[in-house]
Amino acid sequence: MFVSPARALTVVSSGDEVDGWDIIFPSGMTVLSEDNASSLTLETVGTFNSTASEDIMFVQARYAAVATVTIDSENITDGIGVNLSGFSQQLVTLLPGTGASPPAFAQGFTLNRPAANKFTSQTLTSTLDTLSGSLANDATSKLGGTSGGSLVINGNPALSLLKKVFFLQETPIPVVPIPAACWTGLSGLLGLATIAGIKKLLKLRRRARQTA
């Protein structure tokens, strides 16, 4: 992962609040935040060990949460055992937040460094970013960084009443698709894991208030 010496980065633990958002992510993923950035700016490193999606959840903690979430660089390693023909990133809203617009992509990574990013084409909508190319087993795709652009999300936090919860769902696309029934099972497990993650965060908050 490229890190500019002029930038100060802080390692984020799952559940930490950064710029008004609690960030929850899988144990095998590394997330860093850029200090003193004008928006919530992250760098992520992770390995796909199965075809299941990996999710980064954003739970609005404060009404003053920053509006923009920027993933400045992302390193993705294929540890599934088969080559990948693509990779998708989808915005999924769990709680819309009172009066708030849905989260939406403002821009995607610039695929102008094929030797580093591996992917060669991109289809971007407001909620789905699909990268296509060839990522070999055990290889790493390095997205963003110097001259590689950034993935920018308009988080659109709520300003009153019910706060927003959404996640960035990242899914590998194998060269040989797996049966649809398997995807259905994985989606069910994902839903259970998401609910468990939110319950865990709320439980930790209650404990913190009781000991304060």
Annotated domain spans of the chain? 9-178
Residue 4 pLDDT > 80: no
Report the C-alpha dihedral over residues 124, 79, 13, 168, rounded to 10 degrees.
20
Q: Measuring CA to CA, which residue among 168, 152, 172, 154 is closest to residue 55?
A: 168
Give the pLDDT band (50/70/90) at residue 184.
Answer: very low
**pLDDT tens sequence across 149-167:** 999 999 999 999 999 999 9
Q: In this predicted structure, what is the pLDDT of residue 48?
A: 95
Phi, psi of 53 (to 5 degrees): -70, 150
Q: Say whether 110 sits in a helix, a strand or coil.
A: coil
- The residue-averaged pLDDT of 83-91 equals 96
User: Distance of CA 210 to CAs 17, 33, 59, 198, 202, Å?
Assistant: 19, 29, 21, 19, 12
